[in-house]
Structures are given as C-alpha cells and as structure tokens.
C-alpha cells in the first residue's frame, strides 16, 4: 500500500472514530434526558436530535453551541400538532419542539457533559542563590514569575523541597498556558541571575492530570 493510501486510511479511520464518539455522547445525553423527564426517547430524537443533525451536520456541533447560548439553538425547534377548535374544526398549530422542563433538563445535561474543563499546565524547575539574602532574592524571583500570569492564565509557583519548585496554571487554552509558563520561567531566570543565582528547567511546561500532579508534588 502506498504512503498516500495509508495516510488516507488512517485519516478516514480517525474521522470515523471521532464521529462515533460524538454520536455516542449525543445518544447518551438524549437518552438520559428522556429517562429523567419520562418522555418517549424516539420523540426526543425526532424533534430535537434529527433536526439538529440536519441543520448542523451533527447534533454534537449544536450541543457545543447550546453550552453558551441554548436559546439560539433550541428556540428554533418546533413541531406541528392538531387541535380541535371551538367550532369543532381540526386546526394545526406550531408549538415549541420540547417543553420548558425538557429543555432545562437537556441544557443542564449538555453543560454538565460538554463544558470544557480547564487544563492544568505544569513546569518543574530548580532554583539556587548562594548570595547574601539569597532567600529574599529567590522570593523576589518567584514574585516575578507569578506576575507573568494574567486573569485567564494565573501563574502560581511553590516550593517542593529546596532547590525544587513547581510552576503551574489552569487554562482552557493549552498553547497559551504553555507560553505563559515559559514567560514566567524567563522572568524568574532573569531575576535570579541578576543576583548570581541559577535556574534550571527540569521539566518544561506540559499538560498534566490531577493524578500526575499529585504524584510529582
């Protein structure tokens, strides 16, 4: 098999996997909402799932929008019902596709399952300063590191055991988080070297899980 064909097959398999997991999540959310609100799952698929697949290419894409702006997506969904008017004539009415109770349950479930979780970015360093007032110089370098953060990526630095220190931040943007920690390390290095100290990066900024973070604490 040629390289191009192998690449195409690999990409195709990955795309299929992604679509499968997206569909699985959508199905799980709709099924849970149907169960908790005691409505027919097929009714929910017909009047919510199917229209969203048609309009957005995949209901998963619509669900992502619902996280921040549910009304813009769900208020456009309607259904037609038949009612007998005062004169005995059957009339068709257009009503919302789902009740407020079902809508609230759906939005709650989508937000719980799909709201992005902040990533924890961590870097491990060693910092030494044997000058007079070396401890004060290290503390000032730590303040410089933390000052490199911002409200979206606040930087914290803590002592593990001399001379080991850990810098970390939490953010939804991996690239920004890594860039901010690198900036913090640069600021810290510049300050400690002004006082003839030394900073060594033991592990560069990277994403870590809570478990990994605790293991390396």
Instruction: Say yes or no: 156 and 199 in one domain.
Output: yes
3-state secondary structure at position 4 = helix
**Which tops the pLDDT comparison, 50 or 117?**
50
Tokens representing 101 are 């109770």
Backbone CA torsion sign across 211, 153, 141, 129? positive
Q: How far is 202 from 67, CA to CA, in rounded Å?
A: 39
| Counted domains in the chain | 2
Residues 127 and 191 in one domain: yes
| Together in a domain, 14 and 96 | yes
Residue 83 has a pLDDT of 84
Residue-wise pLDDT tens digits, 41-68: 999 999 999 999 999 999 999 999 999 9
DSSP bridge partners of 163: none
> How does strand 78-84 pair with strand 156-161?
unpaired
For residues 183 and 93, give the distance between their C-alpha atoms in angstroms, rounded to a whole number: 60
Domain of residue 77 covers 3-114
Lowest mean pLDDT among 9-13, 127-131, 190-194: 9-13
What's this model's pTM, rounded to 2 decimal places?
Answer: 0.61
């Amino acid at each position: 098999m040629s390289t191009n064909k192998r690449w195409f097959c690999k990409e195709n398999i990955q795309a299929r996997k992604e679509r499968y997991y997206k569909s699985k999540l959508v199905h799980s959310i709709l099924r849970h909402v149907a169960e908790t609100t005691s409505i027919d799952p097929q009714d929910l698929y017909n009047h919510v799932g199917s229209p969203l697949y048609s309009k957005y290419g995949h209901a998963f894409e619509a669900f992502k929008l619902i996280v921040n702006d549910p009304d813009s997506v769900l208020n456009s969904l309607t259904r037609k019902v038949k009612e007998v008017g005062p004169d005995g004539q059957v009339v068709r009415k257009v009503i919302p596709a789902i009740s407020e109770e079902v809508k609230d349950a759906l939005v709650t479930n989508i937000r719980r399952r799909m709201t992005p979780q902040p990533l924890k970015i961590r870097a491990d360093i060693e910092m030494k300063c044997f000058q007079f007032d070396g401890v004060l110089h290290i503390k000032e370098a730590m303040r410089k590191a933390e000052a490199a953060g911002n409200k979206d990526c606040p930087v914290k630095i803590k002592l593990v055991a001399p001379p080991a220190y850990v810098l970390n931040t939490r953010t939804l943007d991996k690239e920004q988080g890594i860039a901010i920690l690198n900036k913090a390390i640069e600021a810290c290095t510049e300050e400690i070297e002004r006082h003839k100290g030394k900073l060594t990066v033991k592990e560069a900024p990277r994403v870590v899980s809570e478990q990994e973070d605790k293991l390396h604490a």
